[in-house]
Amino acid sequence: MTELVSDLLRDFCWAAGIEDTFIPQVRPGLRRLEEYELTQHYEQWQSDFDLLEETGVRAVRWGIPWYRVQPAPDRWEWGWVDDALTYLVEEKGILPIIDLMHYGTPLWLDNSFLNHSYPDRVAEYAAQAAERYGRLTRYFTPFNEPMVCCSQCGYDGMWPPYLRGDDGYVKIAMAVARGMQKTVRALKAELPDVQTVQVEAVWHLYTDNPELQERVHLHNERQYLCFDLSLGRVTESHPLWGYLKSYGLTPRKLDELQANAVTYDYFGANYYPWSAGPAAVRRRTPGLYRRAVRISGLSLAGRLQEIYRRYQIPVMVTETSSLGSHEQRGTWMDETIQAVRQCREQGIPVVGYTWFPVITMVDWKYRTGRRPVEDYLIHLGLFDAEFDAGGVLSRRRTPLVERYRRHQARGMPPVADIQQPVWEATGRS
């Protein structure tokens, strides 16, 4: 197993993922959003891992529900995670890239990310997980999609601590970035050879409206904000310096972030059909959104090029999939995998591809909705799921499983050994 652990991302890794958003806190009008619970993964984890094996993947993005393993500040309950990860690795031979933070914090952590002890608490949790599961994997994601978290927690007020607007957005970003830094240091203290796959949602909005140009630029730059803050890359020359200064980034806070700067081994890129397109203005709340247009999965290449040009570290596609029929999903799969092939041929070290999620998930709209959970199932995966007469969310294999296996059998070209990668033209890609 040591050899398998060490070479997972050395060349190219085919992976899948299980949706693991954990928002257990409720309030009037906002239901509990706990994907393992809603999709019955807590009950069906063993058969779900059996299904993973059918896909032929070498790795899975899979998260630990922090709020469950640490139900109180001084109590840890690892039993379910122990059983699941041991079976996954030792019985199935599939390595986890462990999501330590997929948004949610424990119920006892007042004010969530704004709690003064959050960075230390999340680092303590990371150290415990690394010490416990370092024998099974070396791959950890410190924080999945921090900028999505900043939007939901700090700008839109949908998740704890329910802040709104740019002031809230920056407050959450600063706290999350400090937590990311302490998490990486805790992981490396426990596992000197740990491999960090720091994951972010990537997107690209564009506009022909001169009045929206500045807002679109801000929106596109913000996708990298927590990454840049945690890397210590934010200085007075940073594109968002003025924005951050306006909402509370003081010289003292900046010095602290720079003094504690960390590095990551891989940039994990999450990209979907709704990740790019023309910008429009929200009518009810401030901000921008992407107008619905059909984009090609080949547009992923532009985002991967941008990431590598910016950070010069290997990139992994850590999430992608599509809504629609099996054929529509299959077309997106073909196109995005072709985009990865193109990037490798251009000298860009894209080291993995992840179809995410592998099984039907529950739409986040469930949190604000009133209808039963079956009305919020969204089919993105290689296996579709529907509730049977007994209330069991039954999984069903689709033709996409074999399609994905064919791609894996074909393999990937080596990363071209060229001095200057051929960058795709920027713009509406």
- Global model pTM greater than 0.85: yes
Q: Looking at residue 218, what is its pLDDT?
A: 87
Q: What does the pLDDT average to over 305-334? A: 97
Domains plus CATH for the chain?
A: 2-410 (3.20.20.80)
Rounded average pLDDT over 364-393: 98
pLDDT by residue (tens digit) across 20-67? 999 999 999 999 999 999 999 999 999 999 999 999 999 999 999 999
Confidence band, pLDDT 50/70/90 cuts, at residue 324:
very high
Distance CA 68, CA 76 (A): 8
Q: What's the rounded mean pLDDT across residues 110-114?
A: 97
Task: Express each pLDDT in 177-202 by its tens digit.
Answer: 999 999 999 999 999 999 999 999 99
Which of the pair, 402 or 293, is modelled with greater confidence?
402
Residue 218 burial (10 A CB sphere; 0-12, 13-18, 19+): middle
pLDDT of residue 424: 47
The two tokens of residue 319 are 């999430």
Considering the chain, what percentage of its residues have pLDDT values greater than 70? 93
What pLDDT, on a 0 to 100 scale, did the predictor assign at position 4?
Answer: 47
Which pLDDT score is estimated for 1? 45
Q: How confident is the model at residue 419 (pLDDT cuts 50, 70, 90)?
A: low
Q: Is the pLDDT of residue 429 over 60?
A: no
Cα 214 to the chain's mean position, in Å?
27
Of 106-115, 244-253, 277-286, highest mean pLDDT = 106-115
Confidence of residue 283 (pLDDT cuts 50, 70, 90): low
- Cβ contacts of 164 within 8 Å, gap of 6 or more: 154, 155, 156, 157
Mean pLDDT of the chain: 93
Euclidean distance between CA atoms 173 and 192, whole angstroms: 27
**pLDDT higher than 90, residue 296:** yes
385 within 8 A of 359, measured Cβ to Cβ: yes
pLDDT tens for 327-339 read: 999 999 999 999 9
- Sort 215 into a burial class: Cβ within 10 Å, 0-12 / 13-18 / 19+: middle
Which of 182, 187, 197, 193 is CA-nearest to residue 141? 197
Span 128-159, pLDDT tens digits: 999 999 999 999 999 999 999 999 999 999 99
Q: Read off the pLDDT of residues 225-247 as tens digits, 9 standing for 90 and up.
A: 999 999 999 999 999 999 999 99
Cβ pair 153, 163 in contact under 8 A: yes
Strand order across the beta sheet in which 288-290 lies: 204-206, 276-281, 288-290
Comparing 10-24, 83-97, 279-293, 389-403, which segment has the lowest mean pLDDT? 279-293
% of the chain with per-residue pLDDT over 90:
85
User: Residue 214: its pLDDT value, please?
Assistant: 86
Instruction: Please tell me the distance from the alpha carbon of residue 113 to that of residue 60, in angstroms, as a whole number.
Output: 27
